[in-house]
Amino acid sequence: MKDLLIKSFGRQLQDLLDFMINNWAWPSPEAGFALYVCQKAKIELPPSFAAKALTTAESCRLDQAPMLAAVGYHFSICNQQSAEMHEQWADGFSRLVSRNAFPVDRESFFFRPIELLGISRGVACCTQVSPQDIARLQQIVREGESRADMRNLWAFSIGALAARSISHEWSLKHAIQLSSLSLEELALFKWICLIDQQQADAIGIGANEASLEETLLEQISVSAYWPMDTARAAVIYAALKNSITRHLKTEIEENWQTGRKSKDALALLRTLCSRFHLFAVQLQRRHDNRQAVGICDEYDVQDLMHALLKFHFNDVRAEEYTPSYAGTSSRTDFLLKQEQIVIEAKMTRKGLGQKEVSKQLIIDKESYRSHPDCKTLVCFVYDPEGRCGNPIALENDLSGEQEDYKVIVMVAPKGT
């Protein structure tokens, strides 16, 4: 089933890319937005997209809002324009913001969010725009917030990004219910989480990115979708590709021989072992002179280690016996079944210094190698009295990795 889903997502990604290729119309606000979406999400499009935009941007007539928006996006993703181009764009923008942005028929760039964002990105990147014209656009955006339709989450959210480009924040006045969102809205919010976490938090979706991604993948896996235009195709393409890539990477890490779960567990075990002595010393310092929790021998060390492991891991199994080695059998102290890690805890004492511990660990290494659930053996040697003369050498000599079996020896504390 998982393979079928991956293939299905792959086909949908290719269909979205084919749609963009077949409907690519540059210069246009939608094409500029598509380039901007993928560039901000760090997703590569075929070189012909950006190349065509670069070669034709200089020839755009900058006397209308759609062309200003298209080139505004181009400013935002490419810094190769000439000074003359910046000057022409600034002149066109100055004429645009001098007009009424809120006509009765709503036929202006403000009511077309992709144009508004492209123009706002142009203002943020163009070197020739005057402070007076920037102030005019900021006033339009401030006044326009009350005119924006918050029920249209697609338009409102893109408008909010435009406002943020020129240092103004729009806030959504109601909570977002993921179950009520369309595929396009889910994809847009996922993309916003990717590019601007603060903006995602401002509109109330930042804390729900994982649920948002899950809902997006569920919805696109069970419903047929065909985009309305290049802009929407680009948003869904970027959000879907990022989500799939992240899930595949997580899947590989979790199932690889030394995957994420094992790495996280080993990092935690290293911390527990290296700080065990601090933990033990603190147990001696009881409140109001109460009886201390003593650590007198190896069994005390094992009991405390068992408690610490129980605190951090779900499945901790004690007294797991290894198969016979050289005519004897050994008992492992603790097995982390899910992580396939065995922890052997020892404590030095009179008659059990570095030489004797080393001999025991050499036998333990070979004995645990045949344990069916042991991929990693962690040997913790608690040495509170400093009986190991060279703990670093003990760790280096006995730690190692061969094929699918890893041994980590840790002595603590060192130099006591």
Domain match, 44 and 112 both: yes
Pairwise CA distance, residues 50 & 406, whole Å: 49
- Does pTM surpass 0.85? no
Burial class, 410, CB count within 10 angstroms (exposed 0-12 / middle 13-18 / buried 19+): buried
132-157: average pLDDT:
93
Whether residue 48 is found in the same domain as residue 180 = yes
Phi-psi domain of 404 (left: phi exceeds 0; alpha: psi -120 through 50; beta: other): alpha
Note the pLDDT of residue 1: 40
Q: What is the pLDDT of residue 6?
A: 59
Q: Are 54 and 168 members of one domain?
A: yes
Q: Which of 190, 225, 255 is the last residue of a domain?
A: 255
- The answer to whether residues 161 and 72 touch, using CB atoms and an 8 Å cutoff, is no
Do 191 and 50 fall within a single domain? yes
Go through the chain and tell me how many residues it has: 416
| Alpha carbons 176 and 211: distance in angstroms, whole number | 12
Checking phi first, is residue 381 left (phi over 0); if not, alpha (psi -120 to 50) or beta?
Answer: beta
Q: Are residues 236 and 266 in the same domain?
A: no
Q: Is the pLDDT of residue 324 over 70?
A: no
Looking at residue 332, its pLDDT comes to 60
Are residues 155 and 10 both part of a single domain? yes
Same-domain pairing of 277 and 137: no
Instruction: Say whether pLDDT at 318 is over 90.
Output: no
Q: Report the range out of 53-57, 130-134, 213-217, 266-270 with the highest average pLDDT.
A: 130-134
Residues 239, 275 within the same domain: no
Residues 305 and 229 both lie in one domain: no
User: What single letter denotes the amino acid at residue 68?
Assistant: L
* Whole-number Å distance between alpha carbons of 121 and 238: 19
Residue with tokens 């040697």: 381
pLDDT at 50: 59
Structurally, the chain folds into a number of domains equal to: 2
Task: Give the neighbor-by-neighbor strand order of the sheet with 400-402.
Answer: 316-321, 331-336, 341-347, 376-382, 405-412, 400-402
- Least confident piece of the model among 198-202, 296-300, 396-400: 198-202
Same domain, 251 and 298: no
Q: What is the DSSP letter of 251?
A: H
Pairwise CA distance, residues 369 & 24, whole Å: 60
Residues in CB range of 320: below 8 A, 6 or more apart:
331, 332, 334, 335, 342, 371, 373
151, burial (CB in 10 Å: exposed 0-12, middle 13-18, buried 19+): exposed
Asked if 12 and 220 touch (Cβ cutoff 8 Å), the reply is yes
Q: Could you tell me the CATH number of the domain that includes residue 182?
A: 1.50.10
Each residue's pLDDT tens digit, 248-300: 766 655 554 444 566 678 888 988 898 889 888 888 877 777 776 778 888 88
pLDDT at position 258: 44
| 132 and 220 assigned to the same domain | yes
What pLDDT does 37 receive? 93
Using the predicted structure, report yes or no on whether residue 320 has a pLDDT greater than 70: no
Domain finish residue from 255, 286, 308? 255
Q: Which of 200, 213, 191, 183 is nearest to 39 (CA)?
A: 191
What is the pLDDT of the chain when averaged over all its residues? 84
Cα dist. 178→150, 152, 223, 241, 319 in Å? Answer: 15, 14, 16, 20, 48
pLDDT of 325 over the 60 cut? no
Question: Does 203 lie in the same domain as 61?
Answer: yes
The confidence score (pLDDT) of residue 9 equals: 79
Helix (H) or strand (E) holding 406: strand 405-412
Residue 390 belongs to domain with CATH number: 3.40.1350
Domain that holds residue 373: 260-412
Name the residue type at position 158. Answer: I
Interval 62-121: pLDDT, tens: 878 999 999 999 888 877 778 888 999 999 999 999 999 999 999 999 999 999 999 999
Q: Return d(Cα 27, Cα 279) in angstroms, integer.
A: 66
Predicted confidence at residue 268, as pLDDT, reads 87
pLDDT at position 33 over 90: yes
- Rounded Cα distance between 111 and 38, Å, is 24
Rg (C-alpha) for the chain, rounded Å, is: 31
3-state helix, strand, coil in the chain (%, to 5): 60, 10, 30
The Cβ-side half-sphere exposure at 349, using a 13 Å CA radius, reads 9
Q: Kindly report, residue by residue over 367-386, the tens digit of the pLDDT.
A: 888 888 889 999 999 999 99
343-361 pLDDT tens trace? 999 999 998 999 999 999 9
User: For the purposes of burial, counting CB atoms within 10 Å of the CB of 374, is it exposed (0-12), middle (13-18) or buried (19 or more)?
Assistant: buried
Distance of CA 52 to the CA centre of its chain: 32
